[in-house]
């Protein structure tokens, strides 16, 4: 008995640590660095062999991209459900500015990528969706590190923007990156999701019911030709968000509390470990490649211009306004952080390309996300210093 309590305490502490934005971002960064270093050492062959190792119907790389990442998208779906029901998206007036900023922040990068590759003789339009995504974990981690003392409404703005961004990216994956679809498996997937809703209405709580149903529905989604991660979002959005009499937590709150650490500490880093490993070569000339240039400009320039422009249009021509404690300098800093594509951008990259084009696109995503993180952190820090300098001295 004496050994049980410390073990539970240790697990609780680990879970609480993994719910921290900074910790999750650091683990994700470490996994990406390990992948890049591993792929560029003499042991690179072992890395490729591990990615290609077959476990049942899929190799390790695809289990990470479609299996582990489905957990991340499930948690993202739970977060979106919370925002839609009681959070920043529940009131149209509060959600309008970050939502319009997010949409413009997806359109502008795609437009820049498309323009760059249309103008280049060797350009390719296949990667138009890559610079549209924002990595919610990385962006919030950077803001948490350098944005202390800034208004909490700035985090809410970035969170709302990233959640809408995720929803847009998921829609794009479902619509544009589905292979030959199977109506039978699509019907089975719909049946599984419907069963999930009905079972919740019966107030069933046993994981022995939900886990097999989730796994079966995930597999049907995979076999239907639609990317299996979409199943994760669907389950998240269909999870009950209100509490019944006698309940301390809603199923949505309970699942996010339990699965959030698994997503941040295992699922997303596992995907990064097997997705970020790319051989870095070609010198500076690689950045004149229209594929690389389009992604880089899309994430760094397109995101910033789109987010700021969308927020301005929403406040200038609509009835919405920024939160009273936010300034346009805050929005500018966060708009640059939104250029951290990473997780979802890498996923779309793997769906868009293969061979050398895949490697070049990954280099662009990693490089542009790094620049966006550093530049965004600097701008957020400057905003913090500016606010502190304006505080009256006692």
pLDDT score for 9:
64
- Give the predicted TM-score (pTM) of the model: 0.82
pLDDT score for 5:
45
Estimate the crossing angle of helix 152-176 against helix 229-237, to 10 degrees.
130
Exposure on the CB side of residue 161, measured as CA atoms within 13 A: 37
pLDDT score for 173:
85
Residue burial 333-366, b: 16+ Cβ < 10 Å; e: rest = bbbbbbbbbbbbbbbbbbbbbeeebebbbbbbbb
3-state secondary structure 238-258: CCCCCCCCCCCCCHHHHHHHH
Closest C-alpha to 328, from 343, 341, 315: 315
Closest C-alpha to 337, from 102, 19, 88: 102
pLDDT score for 4:
47
**Three-state secondary structure call for residue 156:** helix
C-alpha to C-alpha distance for 36 and 248, rounded to whole angstroms: 44
C-alpha to C-alpha distance for 60 and 74, rounded to whole angstroms: 20
pLDDT score for 295:
96
Residues of the chain with pLDDT under 50: 1-2, 4-7
pLDDT score for 86:
81
Helix, strand, coil percent content, the chain, rounded in steps of 5? 75, 0, 25
pLDDT score for 34:
94
What number of other Cβ atoms are within 10 A of residue 93's Cβ?
10
Q: What is the CATH number of domain 60-177+227-390?
A: 1.20.1530.10
Q: For 84-186, where are the E strands, in sequence order?
A: none
**DSSP tally for the chain: helices H, then strands E:** 18, 2
């Amino acid at each position: 008995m004496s050994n049980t309590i410390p073990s539970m305490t240790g697990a609780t502490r680990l879970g609480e640590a993994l719910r921290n934005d900074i910790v999750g971002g650091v683990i994700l960064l470490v996994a990406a660095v390990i992948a890049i270093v591993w792929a560029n050492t003499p042991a690179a062959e072992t890395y490729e062999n591990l990615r290609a190792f077959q476990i049942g119907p899929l190799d390790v790389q695809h289990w990470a991209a479609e299996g582990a990442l489905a957990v991340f998208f499930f948690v993202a779906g739970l977060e979106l459900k919370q925002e839609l029901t009681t959070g920043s998206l529940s009131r149209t007036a509060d959600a309008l500015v970050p939502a319009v900023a997010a949409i413009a922040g997806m359109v502008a990068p795609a437009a820049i990528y498309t323009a760059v590759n249309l103008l280049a003789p060797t350009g390719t339009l296949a990667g138009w969706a890559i610079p549209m995504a924002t990595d919610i974990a990385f962006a919030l981690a950077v803001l948490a590190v350098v944005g202390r003392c800034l208004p909490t409404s700035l985090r809410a703005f970035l969170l709302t923007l990233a959640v809408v961004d995720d929803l847009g990216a998921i829609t794009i994956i479902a619509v544009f990156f589905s292979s030959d679809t199977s109506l039978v498996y699509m019907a089975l997937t719909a049946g599984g999701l419907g069963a999930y809703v009905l079972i919740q209405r019966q107030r069933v709580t046993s994981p022995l019911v939900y886990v097999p149903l989730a796994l079966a529905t995930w597999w049907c989604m995979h076999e239907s030709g639609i990317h299996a991660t979409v199943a994760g979002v669907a389950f998240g959005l269909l999870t009950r968000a209100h509490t019944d009499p006698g309940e301390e937590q809603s199923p949505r709150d309970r699942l996010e509390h339990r699965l959030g650490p698994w997503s941040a500490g295992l699922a997303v880093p596992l995907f990064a470990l097997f997705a970020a490993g790319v051989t870095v070569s070609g010198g500076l000339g690689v950045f004149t490649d229209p594929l690389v240039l389009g992604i880089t400009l899309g994430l760094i320039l397109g995101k910033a211009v789109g987010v700021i422009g969308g927020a301005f249009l929403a406040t200038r021509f609509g009835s919405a306004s920024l939160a009273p404690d936010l300034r346009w300098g805050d929005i500018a800093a966060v708009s640059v952080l939104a250029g951290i594509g990473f997780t979802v951008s890498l996923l779309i990259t793997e769906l868009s390309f293969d061979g050398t084009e895949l490697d070049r696109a990954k280099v662009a995503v990693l490089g542009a996300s790094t620049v966006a993180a550093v530049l965004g952190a600097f701008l957020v820090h400057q905003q913090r210093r500016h606010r502190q300098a304006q505080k009256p001295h006692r």
